[in-house]
Amino acid sequence: MSTKAGKIGRHKFHGDPARFDVVAEYISQNYHGKITRIADVAGGQGMLCRILNKKYNFECEVVDPRSFTLVGVPNRAEEYQAEMADYYDLIVGIHPDEALKEVVYSAKIRPVILIPCCNFWSKEEALGRDALIQKIEEFYQENGIKYQRVTFLFQGPKNIALISEPPKSS
Ligand SMILES: C[S@@+](CC[C@H](N)C(=O)[O-])C[C@H]1O[C@@H](n2cnc3c(N)ncnc32)[C@H](O)[C@@H]1O
């Protein structure tokens, strides 16, 4: 069965809406007490931030030029650039589309949770899910970025994350 869209309360989302709870819980379990400020890059309506702020007491804001966040969710209405990363303790990009490269570049300076979706990495090559992840992993390896692949328990195929830490000197 493939889920094209789903609902949380009265809010509709493309894809499996469970991704927001699943990723928020992961962040709580792995970063709580260690970090404060989180950027939800290309966060769209901001459901991830809403959960992180209300349920887990983080300071999360969406960075997304579309600026259509849910009421009460902070939004920085700008195109995300890697140079913004140092303001935050953690960068999250769930299906970040045009912000993909800047999220990847951010991994050089901040911890990043990235769940790639479409190929906004290369205009020259057609990259499916696995090839896209492999390209990003190559970038991480070339730049001394430690990472692990994590398969999150929400509906695939776009449920594989690269979770990274910047090189020690950063
Ligand atoms: C596929 S949606 C994903 C939204 C959300 N993360 C989710 O999982 O539902 C892609 C989002 O990327 C945003 N976006 C596109 N270019 C961007 C950029 N340069 N910087 C930040 N966000 C961008 C769009 O406005 C859109 O909300």
Ligand 1 atom index nearest CA of 13: 9
Before 111, cis peptide (omega within 30)?
Answer: no
pLDDT at 118 over 80: yes
Ligand 1 atom 1, closest CA? 95
User: What's the distance, Cα to Cα, between the start and end of the chain in Å?
Assistant: 44
Kind of pairing between the strands at 59-63 and 5-8: unpaired
Question: 166 pLDDT exceeds 60?
Answer: yes
| Higher per-residue confidence, 54 vs 17 | 54
CA of 97 to the centre of ligand 1 (A): 6
pTM: 0.93
- 169 CA distance to ligand 1 centroid (A)? 30
Predicted local confidence at residue 2, as pLDDT: 40
Tokens 């966060």, residue located: 43
> Which candidate, 37, 62, 32, places its Cα nearest to that of 47?
62
Where along the chain do its domains lie? 38-165
Interval 73-83 mean pLDDT: 97
Q: What is the pLDDT of residues 66-75, one digit of tens each?
A: 989 999 999 9
pLDDT for res 168: 86
Topology of the domain comprising 38-165: Rossmann fold (3.40.50)
Atom of ligand 1 nearest to the CA of 63: 21
